Amino acid sequence: MELHQLEYFVAVAELGSFTRAAERCLVAQPSLSQQIIKLEKELKHPLFERLGKSVKLTQAGRDLYERATEILSSVEDAKRLVLHDQEGRGRLVVGAIPTIAPYLLPQIADAFLRKFPQAELEITEDVTEQLVRAVGDGRIDVAIMALPIPQPQLEAEKLFDEELFLMLPPEHRLASEAEVTMEMIRDEPFVLLHETHCLGDQIVSVCQQHSFHPAPTCRSSQLLTVQQLVALGQGISLIPAMAKVTDEQRSDCYRSLADPKPMRSIAIVWGKKRYMSPVMQSFIDLLRDYQPLS
């Protein structure tokens, strides 16, 4: 059993495709397939069920996957332990969900790079599911996302709570109300993020807690597009405070809802067994000191 075989195996398991796994691993698909077959012969068990163009883990494959991700994460830690310069020359890979990354990370990244000018910082934006996998197998050092994080092998530290503001189209009938409640928006059309984004699920959950399901007129994969559609009168939405702060052009479109205000909790996440390099520790400390605006 060799490390590159485990890397190929994990890629196929996560992507459900030999073709996409080969693209991720930067290797020809026949070569990747041969290594998987060689690994299966060595273990004397099939690791995948081949289902046409897709694959699914067998029970043996599921058993191996958990161990393989731990092994690959430990190897990445060992590399960092040897290669990281204790004076701040290390490479740090940071992940964040798209509804956080453009609003929080530029400020934190600037402060970090001023402190460690010889460090290399790589930022990855992706949805929660993909970030959790990448942190778990060591491809990402630390990630910023919204709670909850249903992965016991990851350490999640809450940083702060963030209010979700009601965004209304200009001159909406509710704009003149002294106080807007969730009950008052139950019949309004919503503009939402796609279901792959945790914020979209959180908005649906907030509405369901008030005994209604939001009726979307449109969904988008970008929060900025949601804001623009609301401004054009296509519906209403709930927008995180950090996105509201940057939308100075439409500042009159936002209202704080009546108590209990809808909120989300922002956390920093890393592997429990991850080696904490000096640059990683410094980045986490910067996040802990971050004071969100509202």
Mean pLDDT of 17-24: 93
Name which residue leads in pLDDT, 89 or 28.
28
pLDDT recorded at residue 145: 96
Token pair, residue 219, equals: 């969904």
Of 239, 288, 294, the residue nearest 266 (C-alpha)? 288
Q: Do domains 3-82 and 88-160+265-289 have the same CATH topology?
A: no
pLDDT recorded at residue 249: 85
Exposure letters 212-222 (e unless 16+ CB within 10 A, then b): eebebeebbee
Environment class of residue 160 by beta-carbon count within 10 Å: exposed (0-12), middle (13-18) or buried (19+)?
middle
Q: Where do the H-state alpha helices sit in the chain?
A: 3-15, 18-25, 29-43, 59-83, 101-115, 128-136, 198-209, 223-231, 241-246, 278-289
**Coil vs helix vs strand at 43:** helix
* pLDDT tens readout for residues 219-261: 999 999 999 999 999 999 999 999 999 998 888 899 999 999 9
Domain boundaries 3-82, CATH class: mainly alpha
Query: At the topology level of CATH, where does 88-160+265-289 sit?
Result: D-Maltodextrin-Binding Protein; domain 2 (3.40.190)
Tell me how far apart the alpha carbons of residues 151 and 229 are, in angstroms, rounded to a whole number. Answer: 35
pLDDT recorded at residue 82: 62
pLDDT recorded at residue 84: 56
Of 36, 68, 50, 144, the residue nearest 99 (C-alpha)? 144
Q: Is the pLDDT of residue 205 over 80?
A: yes
Sign of CA dihedral 107, 282, 95, 264: negative
pLDDT recorded at residue 155: 93
Supply the CATH classification number for the domain 162-262.
3.40.190.10
Q: Which residue has the tokens 């802990």?
A: 288
Would you say 214 and 163 are in contact if contact means Cβ atoms under 8 Å apart? Answer: no
Domain parsing of the chain, residue ranges: 3-82, 88-160+265-289, 162-262
Of 39, 44, 43, the residue nearest 12 (C-alpha)? 39
How close are the terminal C-alpha atoms of the chain, in Å? 52
* pLDDT tens readout for residues 95-132: 999 999 999 999 999 999 998 888 889 999 999 999 99
Put simply, whether the predicted model's pTM sits higher than 0.75 gets the answer no
Would you say 284 and 142 are in contact if contact means Cβ atoms under 8 Å apart? Answer: yes
Would you say 105 and 145 are in contact if contact means Cβ atoms under 8 Å apart? Answer: no
Q: Is the pLDDT of residue 83 over 70?
A: no
Would you say 166 and 203 are in contact if contact means Cβ atoms under 8 Å apart? Answer: no
